[in-house]
A = this chain, B = another copy of it.
Amino acid sequence: MNAFVAVLRRDLLLALRDGAGTWTVLGFFAIAVAVFPLGVGPEPQVLARIAPGVLWAMALLAALLSLETLFEADYRDGSLEPLLSGALAPELLVLAKALAHWLATGLPLAIAAPVLGIFLNLPTEAMPVLLASLLLGTPVLSLLGAVGAALALGARRATVLLAVMVLPLSAPVLIFGAGAVESAQTGLAATPSLLILGSVALVALAVCPVAAAAALRQAVE
């Protein structure tokens, strides 16, 4: 347990202090969303119409980008080998790192999204659903991403690989996440979509750490 907390603390510290952490992800998210009105044009109806999709898609990309370094940095500087040969089970190691990743990126993204929604004319009624859907969906991205990052570890072109692996798998999250917000925007009930997102999150929590741990063991071989 001690080791679990140690890993969690260190990763959070690194995310707050170093590149590819919280600030990079938030910066990317804000900029990516800000670029849209420039390209699409300023009409409020159009922006509001695409707002849920844009916010969710950009949050997905932002999370994806930060995933590459989940294990890669530890692998390169030689930390991963002692981490895996310590007393902490690899599954728990993965869980600690995925949790740190979520706290450092998913959570800030979810909190920032409603603010950025304002710039896209997202109606205020949809804000709580946007927040809730991101709070449920981003952990899935962190967990799926952990599997992808472990599989791509040490590979050339790791970023593309990761994207190509994680994206098809996270497509349902995106569809239901953006769908929930859109329902709220048009006055429909968002609960079914949110429930689906929640159950996907639970399944990911059960399956992904095991898969990622197996991939990691392969990687340091």
Contacts and interface: CB of A to CB of B under 8 A. Distances in A.
Interface of A: 17-21, 23-24, 27-28, 31-32, 34-36, 38-41, 46, 49-50, 52-54, 56-57, 60-61, 65, 156-160, 163-164, 167, 171, 174-175, 177-178, 182
Contact of A24 (B17, B40, B56, B159): B159
28 contacts: A17-B156, A18-B156, A18-B157, A19-B159, A19-B160, A24-B157, A27-B160, A27-B164, A28-B160, A28-B163, A31-B164, A32-B61, A34-B167, A35-B60, A35-B167, A35-B174, A36-B53, A36-B54, A38-B178, A39-B53, A39-B54, A39-B57, A39-B178, A40-B50, A40-B54, A41-B53, A41-B182, A65-B65
A182 B157 CA distance: 34
Number of copies: 2
A181 to B, nearest CB: 9
A174 B40 CA distance: 10
A159 B164 CA distance: 22
Given A40-B178, A50-B46, A171-B38, A159 B28 contact: yes
